[in-house]
Structure 1
Amino acid sequence: MHYLSTLSLIAIASFTKLVYCGVSTEDNVCMVPVEKEEIQLERYIQSVPYKTTVLCPDISKGFKCSMTKYGEKIAYRNVPKIVTIYVKQCCDGYTNASNDKCIPVCNPSCENGNCTAPNHCTCEPGYAGPSCAITCLKGFWGSSCRAKCECLHEASCDPISGICFCPPGYHGKHCEKPCNDKTWGPNCRFRCLCGNNSTCNPIDGSCKCSPGFSGSLCLEECVEVRVIPQVSMDPTVYTIVNVKMVRIATKKMVVVCVLLDFQLVIIPNFFGLFESFVNNTGRFCENKCQKGYYGINCTSKCFCYNENECDQITGECHCIGFTGKHCEQPCPKGTFGKEFVHLIALDQIARTNALAIQCHPTIGSCSCRAGYTGAGCNSLCPTSYYGENCENKCDCNLNTGSQCDPVTGQCICAAGYQGIRCDDKCPEGLFGKHCESKCNCKNGASCDHRYGVCNCTVGWRGPQCNLPCWAGYAGAGCKLCNCKNNAGCDPLTGECICRAGWTGKSCEMPCDKVRPPLMCPKNMDVGDVL
């Protein structure tokens, strides 16, 4: 039984082809052993026949018979021999470039970066992932998205440069500074238009008017009624033409009101001095004209378009964001505000990259096209959002590294995934973008559904798992065998194949110390195949 086991072990040693790993001699260049057939002169012992006589019982031959015998002599002959020579070629994971240099190979290829080592991409700023196909998530930037944004107040940052995109109301390198009282909006880029020392909201630019003023920009002066005690006198009626403001000072307390016939009516028994504009109504001219009306007793209707207001005395339109007698024409492109005197640099930026639909004629903010946001419409929608004003939430499985189209909301699947939501892995045998690439793995190896990397079965290696393990390596991943004394090993199981004179699990024991001797193989030598 032991003898058969020994023969089996000898057979394994004789027919197992062991392959050496190339030795690197220069940049990514290896000396690789190549088997080659050569004709060599071989010395051998040749058998040579010769005639001689020997004693024999044949009396007719005189008891001497002729006989052919064989002798030996040294001879030479040409025989084919398999020899190993070493040639230069690119090491595993490298290929020969056009300039005869060995450059690394990445599978899959680097989409937004450079292949700097076998299957290792160095990504450009703003991208990450094994093939640099994934854009940085919100809050990260730089090469391979390793740098963390240092922006305050929930601001996002540029995935390439890390520059903070400040939200409305803040500015500064890290969005740490609030807008001053004269600016507002994202990064405090807009100039406040509030008049008469009114307060400007740093978020949306709306105005909080100072006492005595009103309107969207606090440009309209309020009408005040003041009563001042005086000495009384008898009531009198006066008539004044083209009255715009009346101020009557009398010795008696009176109230003055302007009527449609331009009469000043002194109302007796009311104590105090009264002053008023003609754009008031009421018994005592105490009511201001309602929005949309003007003139004496507020009986005339304003004729202004686009929600603009008119002068409550003359009826003249005060246009903001529009022009024309009745505010019927929008401001020229690139301008906004009252009488379109304000130019806006952000609108010019947005028009240059064609990402803005228009500049808001009143406050100057940009209306961005679908998929873009920011003061200048130069930022894509945040991750998970799309459409106009980035208001729609994407329905994509972003945990797979997939993305959402910022314009349409369509899911853009990462390599190795498919389906409407990018939930489904590529079928067996396919990989990559849209699962369109076919795996090319040999010897029963499986294929990574994302990048097509082969997961080799035991005893195999290489990008396609088509190379047996190196000599002295075995098993899954071609791990180093634990064999002593220059022993070989089975590339599948890792079992040590001892040279003559050695035995043991790791070939660590010399045969002369083995009892009984039959346990030690005597005629096995793997030196010829190593």
Structure 2
Amino acid sequence: MDNICVLLTLFLILPTIEAKCNEKNGVHSFGDNCRFMCHCEQNTECNETTGECSNGCARGWYGPGCQYRDIIDHKFSKHSNNSYSNLATDGKIDTCYREFKNNRTEQLFWSVVLSINETIHEIQISTKVKSLVYFKKFTVFVGYSRLPRSYDTIDERACFRQGHDIPKSSTFIVLCKKPVIGNVVKIELAQSQNVLELCDVRVNGGRNLAFKRTSAQSSKFEGCGTHFCKSSFAVDGYASTKDIYFCSLTDEEEKPWWQMYLDYNIRIWNIKIIDTNNHNQIPYVVHITNTNDTKIGKEGPYGKKGVSHNTHTQSFTMNSAGKFVTISVEGKRNLTVCEVFVFGDCRVNQCGYNCEKKCQCKHATMWDRISGNCAISCDKKERGYQCNMPCKTDDDCTFECGENCFGGDCIPKSGECTKGCKPGWEGTYCKNTCDPGFYGHNCLKKCSDHCKHRNEYCNNVDGNCTYGCMDGWKAPLCDQACDAGFYGRNCTEKCSEHCAGGNRNCNTTTGYCEMGCQSGWTGLRCVNACPSRKFGAGCKESCASTCKNDACDHVNGICRDGCKRGYQGDKCESECRDGTFGEECKEDCSSNCNNNTCDHVTGNCTNGYKPGYKGNTCGEISDNILSDAKPDTGSNETRKLKIALICVGILCAIIVVYATVITILLKRKATHNVKDGTNVSCSGRGNDDAITNKTNKTETVTAEAATEATTELARVNINASDDESHQYTDLTPDTEDVEAAYETIQLE
């Protein structure tokens, strides 16, 4: 019945069209001067007056006259259990999906991701009549996702929240309190609801207000001739990307521009510009103004470049209003524009296809904006289906608004709060407090998920968490994590300074150091020094066994109490240097050790000891100095020993000589006696002469031997140094003693 009323109204609004709109380049149109484009299935003709399609709307279009763009058509969507649920975006109202909560604690939801940011302001939802009861207190959120097809959103905001009442029809429309820009739309049921069933969801992206509007351009390319490259080709509905002559094309000039006049000051949410496939895409600059000023500055209000869908399309998302849309490029070049789509709708209190009618609808839907009828209520002190009837009497317009109406404004007679509710209240008459988990103006804000004891416990007016925050979150709203370097309840605990990278690298909830500990520290929060005998990163290194008391610094391993005997260095890793030993290597090896080296711990001579010394440290004089001595040329002790040995050798030689002489003399004497007896008895005097000659020879030999020994002794004494030889003068034989011995031998 409602649709019939709308169509009748459309018939009254649009003047009767005498001439039929002709199809051009496969584009069908309708309405006054054929200024509206048909969007029928299979690109068929539409009703010349209303634009209605007998075979249904083309994919991606819906609403009165199939004029409104559905920005979530066939987009990826999912529900609470992370499975996909694309039946809600397939454009078919008879295909539905249903999800049960079962034993899960989280709220049921459905969400859809868009390819670019869009301005969200109106959502149409279709379900089954039996499932309407579950939509009591449901919420529509709009968020932003950085990654394509990602449902992880940031800056999620509620654009609509249903009150305690249940939607009246299986297909119903909800309006955001104000438009929200984002690329994720989520429908979430209240905590107590157990079933979510969706048959169709549509999100209003506006209608194309650029079709066949008046346009102009800075110049026309000379090579195009009379009938091509016109500015009107960019609003004819024929989005040619192959033939540049069916596009708007300017000469090469400084800052070329193209402009369109929209007839009325309208609300604009998105502009799409299509260029040619073979044209090098240049960033467009877009301006929306209320005048036709074409002096375009360097920076446009929406940036130099829109979001590119592909190589020939740029999109600009906004929430603006104006009469003129101007497109330009920087520098000296040609400007090519093949088609421009301006998606928006009439402003508040404007209705009709051309936005030429005035209306007083409160929260006008797309159906209201086309028909001029007000399905919800009137905006001001008027009444009637089109809110064009004034109050008849003062009583009709006298009503005391509820104390919770925002600004104290409400609709006369009905008492409906016209500007919504004060923070903490909701409903048509603002008599209900926010449900647990919501707060603020019209209860559209959601309590933080980090309130202690769940998000149901926050103040319905200001959102402060009643019982404080979970660990790691700031009071009172508990919507901000602790500052770096702090953690715990109300962020009062300070992170350890021994976290790797500093105290800013700790978990704001637990205080655990997320990058581990600095060298010398251990534990999840890095507040404990390494245990005894351990040090370094992760306390994995052991103190040196040469540290005194096995104790070292837990950070760098330096021996805290010094080194054990025989070792030196910060970590006691080096033995005492040659020639030293003992505690702190302060003791010197004995000078009696060979090469002056000794054991670095005990001081014992490791390479033996010098001649004349014994014991571990070579400090005792040897009992067998002569036999153990080993000459060592070059030292005073060695030279002295050498002289002593020579003297001893000489003495021994003298003794041997004396012994030899005495022995020879004794033998000769015995022989002489024997021979003397024989000669006396047998030989006579001749033998005496012989004996006398032998005796003289013997005396001569003996004297020569004695003289030779004396001479050798004198030679040795002369070669020895004065200081050294006088120590041994008592060993030198006296000449008189030798002569006496010689005389004794002669006598004998």
- After TM superposition, the score normalised by the length of structure 2 is 0.22
Q: Which has the larger radius of gyration?
A: 2
- After TM superposition, the score normalised by the length of structure 1 is 0.28
Larger relative helix fraction? 2
Larger relative strand fraction? 1
